Structures are given as C-alpha cells and as structure tokens.
Amino acid sequence: MSERSAGTSERIARTGQDRTAPLDLLDLDGSLAEEDRQIRAVVAGLVTTRVRPYVARWYELGEAPIRDLAVEFGRVGLLGMHLTGYGCAGASAVAYGLACLELEAGDSGVRSLVSVQGSLAMYAIWRYGSEEQKQHWLPSMASGETIGCFGLTEPDHGSDPASMATRARRDGTDWVLDGGKMWITNAPVADVAVIWARTDGGVRGFVVPMGTPGVTAREIRHKMSLRASSTGEIVLDEVRLPADALLPTATGLKAPLSCLTEARYGIVWGALGAARDCLHTALDYATGREQFGRPIAGFQLTQAKLADMAVELQKGYLLALHLGRLADAGTLRPEQVSVGKLNNVREAIEIARQCRTILGANGISGEYPVLRHANNLESVLTYEGTSEIHQLVIGQRLTGLAAFGG
Ligand SMILES: Cc1cc2nc3c(=O)[nH]c(=O)nc-3n(C[C@H](O)[C@H](O)[C@H](O)COP(=O)(O)OP(=O)(O)OC[C@H]3O[C@@H](n4cnc5c(N)ncnc54)[C@H](O)[C@@H]3O)c2cc1C
C-alpha cells in the first residue's frame, strides 16, 4: 500500500473510533449490557489494528490472509461465539451481533469469514452433528486452525435450493456424492465443507474433508465485490464418504435453512457496521472539504443527506437490538430475521451509495472505504437470501400464501 493510502486508512480508523458517539443519536449504546460492550470494544480494537490498515490492499489484490485472520479471531473467541461447549464462547446473541457489526465496519468479507465459519459450518455440526463429529471438528474450528465452508448453492440452483442437483447415494455403508456447489465462501481455503445433497430420503447434510478424493475447489475470479474474501466453486466427483460423514439429525431442507437463519441474523447487524463506517467517513470528509467558501457539511442538502442516513442507521440498530433480545430470549422467528436482513442491508447499501456522493470524486477512490463497502454490500444483498426472497418470506407471513413459484 502506498504511504498516502496507509495514512488515509489510519486517519479513517481514528475518526471512525472518535465519531461513534455523535451517531448514537438515541443513546442506544447506553442500553447495552456491560459484557456486550466489552466484547464489542475487543472486536473494534482488533479491527482497528488487524483489518483497517490493510483491508484496502487486500481488496485491491483480491486476496486476504484468511488463515491468519481465522487464528486471530479464534484466539479472542469470535468463531462460533454464540455456540456453547466444544471450545465455543457461549456469548449472547446481542454480543455476537455487535461483533458482526464491528467486523463489517472493517469489511464485509472479513465478517463473512466469521459468519460462514461460526453460523453456517460450525452451527450445522453443532446443531445436527453426532457427538463424535462435534468433538472432532468444533474445537479446532473454534480456534481457527480448521476452516469450514457451507455448500448449499449450485450453479443452477440459488434461491431455490429445493431443486438442488447434487446427489448422495448409498453404496454399502458408504455414501457417494456427485455434483457441484457454487459461490461458496471460504471453499478454496477450507479444510472441511458441510455439503447439502439430495438422497432417496430427501435433502441431507454431509461433513466432507476437503482432502477427500474427488473433491476439488477453485477460486472464483473477477469478483467486483467482497474481494477481501475467498469465494469458490466445489466439484464433487464420485466422492466416497464413510457412513459417519452424514449429519445424523439434519433431515430435509429445513436443516440448511435453519443454518441460514443463524447467518442472516449476523448480517442484520453486520450491514450496519459497513453503513456506519461509510457515514463516519462522509461526516469527516464533509466537515473538512470546502466548496463555495464553506465546508460542504454546512450546505442544507448535505445535512439532509447526513440526517436521513443517521436516522436510518439508528432505526436499523434498534431493529437489530430488538431481534438480538428476542434471540437471547429464545423466541426469534425466521421471518423476523427476514425483516431485519431485508431492511438493514437495503438501507446500508443506500447509505453507502449516498455517502459516496458526498465524497465526490474521492468517493470512487480505494483510499476511502465507501465504494468498497457499497460494492461489498451488493454481495450481502444477494447472499443468505436475496431481498426478493425475504420479501416473499414476509409476504407469506402476512397473507398465508407462498408466492415462491413452483
Ligand atoms: C460473495 C458470495 C458468497 C456466497 N457464499 C455462499 C456460501 O458460502 N454458501 C452458499 O451455499 N451460497 C453462497 N452464496 C450464494 C448465494 O446464497 C446465492 O447467490 C443466492 O442465494 C442467490 O442465488 P443466485 O445467485 O443463484 O440467484 P438466483 O436465485 O438465480 O436469483 C436471481 C434473481 O432472481 C430473483 N428471484 C429468484 N427467485 C425468485 C422468486 N421466486 N420471486 C422473485 N424473484 C426471484 C432473485 O431475488 C434475484 O434477484 C454466495 C454468494 C455470493 C455472491
């Protein structure tokens, strides 16, 4: 990274820290438990030292030190942090959400690493695995030494995973898997994949070590979004697995969908982090940049933008806190998570785009984080259920009618 851009990143990191308070218009931080606040401060500190100074460079190169980050995140208990036992931290849902927010204030790709590891791969094993599977995989996944991925999406089946083409058939006591998965976060660097496949008995989940003969993963190149994250295609060619690779209690599509609900919950919070970072940057820029003889922050049109964005950010935070408290009470329902994902990602992307306008030409520069966040949020808008799918989930709840097609 050039000296100038490193300096800019550091300045943004500093101002990002300093400006948290003015954005908390409704004093929502005051309602957080002390322990949640402490966890948030640890994650924010880690992002400041370990992500912010480097992430623009990772994004530009299209590669991030995933393994190193996983070990560092594991060391402070971020991986599977809302799960209990097997080396997991057992933190509250609100604390997990706050961690996602602070991680994504650094970069959505970095938060994706933690979400996929903890909420998709580890959660699937934690919730549906045998005792042996849990003991074998979870402690080293919690420490970040083992990286997991979650293969549901296929080249021809995204929003409609019920139509998946990947098959698992029995051969004696073994299982044999054939098919392919696409757009799988962490796949090129993963040690293990949770793969969902169709069997004669419906959709089942399998724990697949990536070194198994017949498994290949390749990096998906030319991404214009989430470039500080590894995304891959997995090919499964006559992959023979022992009987104990099956997740015993995961039967039917509701199993992977329950994992997605976990990960979507983290996104409800995470998207706010990206938006907050954009708004900090825009505020800082607008107060320093002068046109027509005065700071652009002093123009009414700029203040209208800033005010509207701050209001949306606080509404999103209120929503996330509410969902977090429902989760901690054990009553959070999937369609409520859809409300959060739909709203908070949609608003975050609007905030990122609006902030970009405030930065003018500098808004398109990688020396500022705004367009990187906006581009990242394009992926966040699509994965874990597109906005349209969440509208359909909410629509079904409202009308009692499923409008997904089929
Ligand atoms: C960076 C990145 C990382 C990802 N990581 C993972 C991962 O780790 N694991 C994994 O399994 N998947 C992953 N995904 C895949 C992601 O979950 C899918 O891209 C997503 O579910 C959408 O599927 P699709 O891209 O095939 O789009 P499609 O399903 O083809 O949808 C295309 C468009 O049609 C719309 N549409 C589809 N059906 C309907 C309908 N019934 N009514 C109205 N509109 C509809 C969609 O909303 C969308 O706008 C990742 C994707 C990205 C971009």
The DSSP annotation for 104-128 comes to HHH-HHHHHHHHIIIIIIIHHHHHH
Give the other-Cβ count within 10 Å of 250's Cβ: 23
Is there an atom of ligand 1 within 6 Å of 405 CB?
A: yes
| Those residues with Cβ within 8 angstroms of residue 120's Cβ, 6 or more apart along the chain or in another chain | 148, 149, 150, 194, 259, 260, 262, 263
- 381, 345 contact by CB (below 8 A): yes
- 98, 270 contact by CB (below 8 A): no
Give the closest residue (by CA) to ligand 1 atom 37.
Answer: 159
Kindly list the catalytic residues. 384
- 391, 343 contact by CB (below 8 A): no
Query: Quick one: what percent of the chain has pLDDT higher than 70?
Result: 95
Give the closest residue (by CA) to ligand 1 atom 45.
Answer: 388
DSSP annotation string for 153-183: -BTTBSS-GGG---EEEEETTEEEEEEEEEE
**How many angstroms separate the alpha carbon of residue 388 from the centre of ligand 1?**
10
Question: Which numbered atom of ligand 1 lies nearest the CA of 229?
Answer: 1
Query: How confident is the prediction along the chain (406 residues), in pLDDT tens digits per residue?
Result: 333 333 433 433 444 444 456 899 999 999 999 999 999 999 999 999 999 999 999 999 999 999 999 999 999 999 999 999 999 999 999 999 999 999 999 999 999 999 999 999 999 999 999 999 999 999 999 999 999 999 999 999 999 999 999 999 999 999 999 999 999 999 999 999 999 999 999 999 999 999 999 999 999 999 999 999 999 999 999 999 999 999 999 999 999 999 999 999 999 999 999 999 999 999 999 999 999 999 999 999 999 999 999 999 999 999 999 999 999 999 999 999 999 999 999 999 999 999 999 999 999 999 999 999 999 999 999 999 999 999 999 999 999 999 998 6
281 CB-side CA count, 13 A: 36
Q: Report helix, strand or coil for 88.
A: strand
Give the other-Cβ count within 10 Å of 381's Cβ: 20
Is there an atom of ligand 1 within 6 Å of 183 CB?
A: yes
The two three-digit tokens of residue 39, written as one number = 């966890």
The letter for the amino acid at 302 is T
Question: Which numbered atom of ligand 1 lies nearest the CA of 159?
Answer: 29
**How many angstroms separate the alpha carbon of residue 385 from the centre of ligand 1?**
6
Instruction: For ligand 1, pick from 115, 231, 375, 382 the residue to mutate: most ligand atoms within 8 Å of CB.
Output: 382
Q: What is the pTM of this model?
A: 0.94
Is there an atom of ligand 1 within 6 Å of 386 CB?
A: yes
- 148, 222 contact by CB (below 8 A): no
Is there an atom of ligand 1 within 6 Å of 406 CB?
A: no
Per-residue pLDDT tens for 52-106? 999 999 999 999 999 999 999 999 999 999 999 999 999 999 999 999 999 999 9
Is there an atom of ligand 1 within 6 Å of 161 CB?
A: no
Is there an atom of ligand 1 within 6 Å of 206 CB?
A: no
Instruction: For ligand 1, pick from 236, 380, 383, 387 the residue to mutate: most ligand atoms within 8 Å of CB.
Output: 383
Is there an atom of ligand 1 within 6 Å of 153 CB?
A: yes
Question: Which numbered atom of ligand 1 lies nearest the CA of 404?
Answer: 41
Give the other-Cβ count within 10 Å of 254's Cβ: 10
Q: What does the mean pLDDT of the chain come to?
A: 95
The two three-digit tokens of residue 308, written as one number = 């509207």
**How many angstroms separate the alpha carbon of residue 59 from the centre of ligand 1?**
22
Tokens 């002390």 map to which residue?
34
Give the closest residue (by CA) to ligand 1 atom 4.
Answer: 183
Is there an atom of ligand 1 within 6 Å of 205 CB?
A: no
